[in-house]
Amino acid sequence: MKVGLVGFAGGGKSALFQLLTGHVSDPSKIQAGQVGEMIVPDSRFDRLVALFHPNKIVPAKIQLFDTPGLIKGETKGNGQRLGIIRESAVLIQVIGVYSGANPLEETVAFTDECILSDLQIITNRIERVKKDLAKPKPATEREAMQAELDTLSPLEAHLTSGQPLRSMKLTEEQDKAVRAFSLLSGKPILALLNSAESKYDPAVIEKLKTQGVMSLAAPVGLEQEIEALSTEDRAIFAEEMGLTESSKSRVARAIFEITDQITFYTSDEKEVHAWLLNRGGSAVDAAGTIHTDLAKNFIRAEIMPVEDLLRLGSEKEVKAAGLFRLEGKEYVMHDGDEIVIRANV
């Protein structure tokens, strides 16, 4: 899953990228964007590592894409920059409220840019299909093209009304089209208010929510300064400033919420590994996340809640307490499941 840091130039995208990934932004990649990984903060994972002392640890990671900033009032250049943003599955719009930016105006302006870009793509596709329909075609091809028009026309009408696709209840076919064309206004979005504090006007936060935009405030510059301190000084200074939780943790939790992700684990003395899975995913989906061969040759899944494993200290004790289960392919995974896949490989 690639999460795009997006927005207008000057909002602090690159500073947030550095804070979340630990990588300094490369000025030579400003126009193409830069990719880095954020390790997901996870106390359960840390406790599993402390329990097993494994030879290898693999925390969950989220890929972040620091995209080129849009320029207000520019059309041609912004079109190219929006094209790069389409690679992202999720968008985090970074808004520099510390420098006076109005979060409501910025989110509306960015959404409008996305709507216009999406509308151009959908309109062009509809015109192309209509031209093909005007030519002699076999009946099956004509039916497929008409079905595509029936799918895309409501999307075009919604965008023409000035509304983002995330505010539209999509059919299964429309959802497939939105994903196939990587339409920006249909992607989950989080507005990160780059502020002087980790709190912001609740009325503004609520207003953004009514627009379908989840938001949180984060003092990116202040946290960068704290990160540069020694471990001891960092804790003291964070406490003095009232920063009880890092922005990395809060951003990760927000991403999980808007994308409906859960974490499951595989743990023993050899390796502790945290895995990400879409909520509602089955045991066989989890097996496929680990390795495709495990999904193909799935026999059963051994499941236990990771909190029970941590509390009781071993699989043996979990079994003795009757908290260990054998599940089949259709078992729906829960956040915090510890899993062992039995497969015919």
Of all residues in the chain, the percent with pLDDT exceeding 90 is 76
Contact predicate 8/69, CB 8 Å: yes
Give a yes or no: residue 211 inside a domain. Answer: no
Per-residue burial over 104-137, b if 16 or more Cβ lie within 10 Å, else e, is: eebbeebbebbbbbbbebbeebbeebeeeeeeee
Per-residue burial over 250-275, b if 16 or more Cβ lie within 10 Å, else e, is: bbbebbbebbebbbbbbbeeeebbbb
How many Å apart are CA 90 and CA 255, to the nearest integer? 8
3-state secondary structure of 315: helix
pLDDT interval class at 211 (50, 70, 90): confident
* pTM for the model: 0.89
Beta strands in 206-307 (DSSP E): 214-218, 261-267, 271-278, 298-305
Give a yes or no: residue 190 inside a domain. Answer: no
**Domain region containing 308:** 280-343
φ and ψ at 48, to 5 degrees?
A: -65, -40
Give a yes or no: residue 286 inside a domain. Answer: yes
pLDDT interval class at 110 (50, 70, 90): very high
pLDDT of residue 331 exceeding 90, the answer is yes
Give a yes or no: residue 267 inside a domain. Answer: no
pLDDT interval class at 210 (50, 70, 90): confident
Give a yes or no: residue 318 inside a domain. Answer: yes
pLDDT of residue 345 exceeding 90, the answer is no
pLDDT of residue 173 exceeding 90, the answer is yes
pLDDT of residue 240 exceeding 80, the answer is no
Which pLDDT score is estimated for 228?
80
| H/E stretch holding 52 | helix 43-52
Which span out of 71-80, 217-226, 316-325 was modeled with the highest average pLDDT?
316-325
Q: Indicate if the alpha-carbon torsion angle 152, 154, 159, 165 is positive or negative.
A: negative
Which pLDDT score is estimated for 106?
95
Mean pLDDT for 203-219 is 90
Which pLDDT score is estimated for 54?
97
Choose among 313, 312, 337, 315: nearest CA to 327: 337
* Burial tier of 245 (Cβ tally within 10 Å: 0-12, 13-18, 19+): exposed
CATH number at residue 315: 3.10.20.30
Give a yes or no: residue 310 inside a domain. Answer: yes
Which pLDDT score is estimated for 298?
97
Of all residues in the chain, the percent with pLDDT exceeding 70 is 100
* Torsion of Cα atoms, 202 then 203 then 207 then 209, to 10°: 20
pLDDT interval class at 125 (50, 70, 90): very high
Give a yes or no: residue 293 inside a domain. Answer: yes
How many Å apart are CA 302 and CA 327, to the nearest integer? 6
Give a yes or no: residue 274 inside a domain. Answer: no
Q: Work out the mean pLDDT of the chain and round it to a whole number.
A: 92
Number of domains forming the structure of the chain: 1
Cα→Cα distances 247→20, 137, 190, Å = 8, 56, 13
Higher pLDDT pick, 195 / 199: 195
How many Å apart are CA 48 and CA 43, to the nearest integer? 9
